[in-house]
Amino acid sequence: TYLSYTKVKIEAPRINKLTPQCLNCQNYGHTRTYCNNHPRCVRCGENHRTDVCTKSRDLPAKCALCNGDHPANYRGCLVFKNLQQLRKKQSSSKRNTDKTENSSLNSTSHPNNSNNSQTYSQATLQNKNPIHTNNEHQNQQNVNMTTQLTSFLNEFKSLINPLISLLTTVIDKLLIKNVN
């Protein structure tokens, strides 16, 4: 495409394949913005922010994740390597399942046009039956689900009622103690 008489190539953004690391607690999988953990220093691994660390830069660092002799953001850390390998395995297995789903969809997506002797009314009549049986199957699933939910609620009531009565008894005894 062209923009102001200049040829411009628009590319898709590059996806970062590294697991994000929090700059607050040094753990992986989230960022500082969404962190609710206590801060940990990237240099010494203690429970304080990195900017207030009193450890000299001349002394060797201590990893907050594996207690190794490196800073917590070192890409050679065993914790980081294990997470990257796990992530790579998960993404490759996801790609394989996506490929098998796509191939099965492609093989079944083409209609069979070999039988051209049917009339329109015959074709539509045959299409009504699978919908009807599908509705029956769905109704049966709904009935099964309702039955399961009803039995669960009955079991839950039988468990919770004794607990409520026990709690009421305890509260009554505590109130009587406090009055005396």
Cα(49)–Cα(25) distance, rounded to whole angstroms? 8
**Is the Cβ–Cβ distance between 107 and 76 less than 8 Å?**
no
Are 20 and 90 in the same domain?
yes
Contact at 8 Å (CB) between 59 and 53?
no
Q: 69, 95, 121 — which closes off a domain? A: 95
- Is there a single domain that holds both residue 91 and residue 146? no
Q: Taking the mean position of all CA atoms in its chain, how far away is CA 18?
A: 17
Report the domain count for the chain. Answer: 2
How far apart, in whole angstroms, are the C-alpha atoms of residue 35 and residue 23?
Answer: 9
The answer to whether the predicted template modeling score (pTM) of the entire model surpasses 0.85 is no
Whether 21 and 91 map to the same domain: the answer is yes
In a domain, 5, yes or no: no
Q: Is residue 154 part of a domain?
A: yes
The reply to whether 63 falls in a domain is yes
Q: How confident is the model at residue 28, as a pLDDT? A: 92
Query: C-alpha angle with apex 156: 151 to 160, nearest 5 degrees?
Result: 155
Q: Tell me the HSE value of 132 on the side-chain side, using a 13 A CA sphere.
A: 6
pLDDT value at position 91? Answer: 78
- What's residue 66's pLDDT? 93
13 three-state secondary structure: coil
Distance, in Å, from the CA atom of 158 to the CA atom of 8, rounded to the nearest integer, reads: 70
Per residue in 71-105, pLDDT (tens digit) is 999 999 999 999 999 888 887 777 666 666 656 55
pLDDT at position 100: 62
**Tokens 């070999």 — which residue?**
114
Write out the residue range of the structural domain in which residue 173 sits: 140-180
Last residue of a domain, one of 95, 124, 158: 95
Q: Are 84 and 148 in a shared domain?
A: no
Identity (one letter) of the amino acid at 71? P
Question: Is residue 9 domain-resident?
Answer: no
Q: Which residues contact 46 (CB under 8 A, 6 or more apart)?
A: 40, 53
| 68 located within any domain | yes
Q: Which of 61, 95, 129 is the last residue of a domain?
A: 95
| 115 part of a folded domain | no
> Can you give the pLDDT of all 180 residues of the chain as single tens digits?
788 889 999 889 888 888 899 999 999 989 999 999 999 999 999 999 999 999 988 899 999 999 999 999 999 999 999 999 988 888 777 766 666 665 655 555 545 555 456 776 666 665 554 555 566 767 788 888 888 888 888 888 888 888 888 898 898 888 888 876
Do the domain assignments include residue 101? no
